[in-house]
């Protein structure tokens, strides 16, 4: 069996490739930046969203399964809604249509909880949560999900699955978690004790294991899965874990949220603040019931990431 992995140079994609290689799978890599992967017989350039269907058929030749990790994330520059749709919906749809016609195995699409809710949503999320994305990135990921499922349904197939992930942590992480880690790496007191938000997270390793599990387990695929670490973590505890890893004192001070919110708005950080005060708890029980094992030591792993970051800085 040969697995096509897109986005293999990315945060999660490179770990997915490692898991597949450890399991002795044949791998073909399709990347927008194949030069970062060196030379190889099965390293190809990922076609653009507007490439002809033949280009997608070429990268799928002799492929059994597809793991689609490539996408335009919401931590890169200042993309427009059109940019997101091209990268996360149109390209995904092209790839899914070609895979449904040509590859006889499974299609796993790496999606996000942003395809379902906005950053300021508070509540629980599971596979039955009705999608109501609130940002350009989330809308494009939801549209990508729809196009994958439509492509497979049109071919009379049901072996495609969306894997929705909450914020992912690990070496090289970006986005709000990386911002929190930078904020934690200061001797100044932080008003983090006022942050009442509780968040589900997932490690990059656990996310890659979830992809591998969906690709290989014998149970028929459901259309949507949610993965997360087993325990949601208070935002203040996330900052405290980073500070412990950096070897800094806790220094989290209580400050009324009503005072901080206007300041965040003046600084253009209102959405970031709202994301820190929201409680979003994912329910990964479906994946767990099918044999996937989530992380149980989130705090320890966050501390280790900060510790390793500090060691890399002093070398």
Q: What is the reported pLDDT for 171?
A: 86
**Average pLDDT value for the chain:** 88
89-98, 173-182, 270-279, 305-314 — most confident range: 89-98
Region 263-274: mean pLDDT is 57
Q: What is the reported pLDDT for 315?
A: 57
Q: In the chain, where are the structural domains located?
A: 2-169+203-226, 175-199+232-280+296-314
Region 156-181: mean pLDDT is 91
Cross-strand pairs, 45 = 31
Please say if the pLDDT value at position 281 is more than 80: yes
Tokens of 205: 């390793």
Region 271-286: mean pLDDT is 83
Region 267-277: mean pLDDT is 64
User: pLDDT tier at 37 (50, 70, 90 boundaries)?
Assistant: low
Region 275-288: mean pLDDT is 90
Distance CA 286, CA 290 (A): 7
Q: What is the reported pLDDT for 86?
A: 95
Q: What is the reported pLDDT for 74?
A: 72
In CATH terms, the superfamily for domain 2-169+203-226 is NAD(P)-binding Rossmann-like Domain (3.40.50.720)
Q: Cβ(67)–Cβ(111) under 8 Å?
A: no
What is the full DSSP assignment across 119-175? TT--EEE-TTSPP---SHHHHHHHHHHHHHHHHHHHTT---EEEEEE--EESTT--H
Please say if the pLDDT value at position 38 is more than 70: no
User: pLDDT tier at 265 (50, 70, 90 boundaries)?
Assistant: low
Residue 267 or 30, more confident = 30
Q: What is the reported pLDDT for 267?
A: 47
């Amino acid at each position: 069996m040969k697995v096509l992995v897109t986005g293999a140079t990315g945060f999660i994609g490179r770990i997915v490739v490692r898991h597949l290689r450890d399991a002795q799978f044949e791998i073909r890599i399709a990347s927008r930046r194949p030069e970062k992967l060196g030379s190889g017989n099965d390293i190809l350039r990922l076609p653009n969203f507007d490439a002809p269907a033949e280009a997608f058929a070429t990268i799928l030749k002799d492929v059994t399964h597809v793991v689609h990790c490539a996408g335009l994330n919401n931590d890169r520059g200042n993309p427009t809604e059109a940019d997101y749709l091209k990268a996360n919906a149109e390209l995904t749809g092209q790839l899914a249509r070609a895979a449904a016609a040509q590859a006889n195995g499974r299609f796993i699409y790496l999606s996000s909880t942003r395809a379902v809710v906005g950053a300021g949503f508070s509540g629980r999320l599971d596979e039955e949560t009705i999608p109501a994305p609130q940002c350009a990135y989330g809308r494009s990921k939801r549209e990508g999900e729809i196009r994958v499922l439509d492509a497979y349904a049109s071919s009379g197939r049901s072996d495609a699955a969306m894997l929705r992930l909450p914020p992912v942590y690990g070496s090289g992480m970006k986005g709000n978690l990386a911002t929190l880690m930078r904020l934690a790496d200061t001797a100044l007191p932080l008003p983090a004790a006022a942050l009442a938000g509780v968040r589900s997270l997932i490690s990059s390793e656990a996310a890659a294991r979830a992809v591998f599990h969906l690709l290989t387990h014998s149970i028929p695929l459901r259309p949507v899965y949610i993965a997360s670490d087993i325990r949601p973590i208070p935002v203040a505890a996330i900052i405290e874990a980073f500070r412990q890893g950096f070897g800094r004192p806790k220094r989290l001070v209580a400050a009324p949220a009503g005072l901080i919110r206007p300041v965040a708005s003046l600084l253009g950080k209102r959405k970031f603040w709202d994301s820190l005060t929201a409680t979003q708890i994912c329910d990964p029980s479906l994946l767990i019931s099918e044999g996937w094992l989530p992380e149980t030591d989130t705090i320890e792993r966050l501390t280790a990431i900060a510790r390793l970051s500090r060691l890399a800085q002093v070398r």
